[in-house]
Amino acid sequence: MSAEILKPDAGGLARAAALLGAGQLVAFPTETVYGLGADARNDHAVARIFEAKGRPHFNPLIVHLADAAAAARFAVLDGAGERLASAFWPGALTLVLPLRPDAGLSPLVSAGLPTVALRVPDHPVAHALLTAFGGPVAAPSANRSGSISPTRAAHVIEGLGDRIAAVVDGGACPVGLESTIVGFDPAPVLLRPGGLPLEAIEDCLGRRVAPRRADDAITAPGQLSSHYAPDAPVALEAATPPPGALWLGFGSGCDGAALNLSSTGDLVEAAANLFHALRELDARAEPGQRIAVAPIPDHGLGRAINDRLRRAAAPRG
């Protein structure tokens, strides 16, 4: 049975909240990507997320909250974490914080770790749904595990339409990249680059944020080496179109590109277009045909774009 497509109005949001309360899966838009939501306190509902996505159970989930005040009920938020939350919530920032023993969240959410990933999304539909539901919603990206993240309701239906109860159609996601994830060990650590540039975080804290080491255990979503991947193989740093490949351009001078992330070289525009462009080129690709991507500057949102592209191009396990 195909998922219901709900409008982002009072009736649609009430229906979505009721489905979440009944332990069903509901996809909804955030400013980053569409999330696949379930009641974070319901073991069976959270388990359905893993089943629908085909997601490894050791990969934690992000819990979405309606406001920053709710975070204190589930995690210890102080020091640098509290400073970042005050500056960037609601927004494209996830904080991995010490889990309170009495949080009442399903242990599947944290993959058995003593920490939990929390975020307050900055999207009117997400906020309205979370407020209507009145509780924490576990919501990874609403796609099959390892595949391209969805930035439109149609992407969700294409990948998960027969595996979930409903999707709230809130249009295209304005940021188009998953949230930036920061943990504390005890100093701040960048666990995943994303929609909030690292430079903004470091400016807020007045200090450098260390990168995650490649051999560290998985402690947050989006850390698998092969992830966000289309079916077609992906090649990076293609300054000119390789023979036979579908070339994904960036900036001026890419007249031969099948698509261009941003003809003006705007990293914000490129981030918003990334997953949609990869999906479109994947649909166009003939068997064995590659997607080749032009070089992307590795600063600001370019750092997150390059992280997603490296994972898309990684060898498939």
- Strand 180-184: give its sheet, edge to edge: 4-6, 166-168, 26-29, 34-39, 137-138, 62-64, 115-119, 93-98, 180-184, 188-192, 210-211
pLDDT-wise least confident of 36-50, 146-160, 207-221, 265-279: 207-221
Q: Which band of pLDDT confidence, cut at 50, 70 and 90, is reported for residue 119?
A: very high
Closest alpha carbon to 21 in 105, 137, 153: 137
Domain boundaries, the chain: 4-178, 234-313
More confident of the two residues 307 and 120: 120
Q: Which band of pLDDT confidence, cut at 50, 70 and 90, is reported for residue 304?
A: confident
- The average pLDDT across 184-198 equals 93
Q: What is the pLDDT of residue 307?
A: 82
Query: What mean pLDDT value characterizes the chain?
Result: 92
Q: What is the pLDDT of residue 89?
A: 98
Query: Which one-letter amino acid corresponds to residue 231?
Result: D
Q: What is the pLDDT of residue 271?
A: 82
DSSP one-letter code for 99: B
For 310, the enclosing helix (H) or strand (E) is helix 301-313
Beta-carbon contacts of 158 under 8 Å, excluding residues fewer than 6 positions away, are none
Strands (E) in the chain, as ranges, are 4-6, 26-29, 34-39, 62-64, 93-98, 115-119, 137-138, 166-168, 180-184, 188-192, 210-211, 234-235, 246-249, 259-260, 291-293
For 306, the enclosing helix (H) or strand (E) is helix 301-313
Question: Per residue in 8-38, pLDDT tens?
Answer: 999 999 999 999 999 999 999 999 999 999 9
**pLDDT above 60 for 47:** yes
Q: Is the pTM of this model over 0.85?
A: no
- The average pLDDT across 236-263 equals 94
Q: Which band of pLDDT confidence, cut at 50, 70 and 90, is reported for residue 113?
A: confident
Q: What is the pLDDT of residue 223?
A: 56
What is 4-178's CATH topology?
Answer: DHBP synthase (3.90.870)
Question: Per residue in 202-243, pLDDT tens?
Answer: 999 999 999 877 666 656 665 555 556 788 999 999 999 899
Quote the CA–CA distance of 15 and 149 in Å, as a whole number: 24
Q: Which band of pLDDT confidence, cut at 50, 70 and 90, is reported for residue 315?
A: confident
**pLDDT above 90 for 276:** no
Q: What is the pLDDT of residue 227?
A: 58
pLDDT-wise least confident of 123-127, 156-160, 306-310: 306-310
Q: What is the pLDDT of residue 94?
A: 98
Query: Which one-letter amino acid corresponds to residue 252?
Result: S
Q: What is the pLDDT of residue 213?
A: 73
Query: Which one-letter amino acid corresponds to residue 221?
Result: P
More confident of the two residues 121 and 48: 121
Q: What is the pLDDT of residue 146?
A: 81
Q: Which band of pLDDT confidence, cut at 50, 70 and 90, is reported for residue 84?
A: very high
Quote the CA–CA distance of 7 and 111 in Å, as a whole number: 33
Helix (H, G, I), strand (E, B) or coil at 223: coil
Q: Which band of pLDDT confidence, cut at 50, 70 and 90, is reported for residue 155?
A: very high
Q: What is the pLDDT of residue 225?
A: 58
Q: What is the pLDDT of residue 218?
A: 58
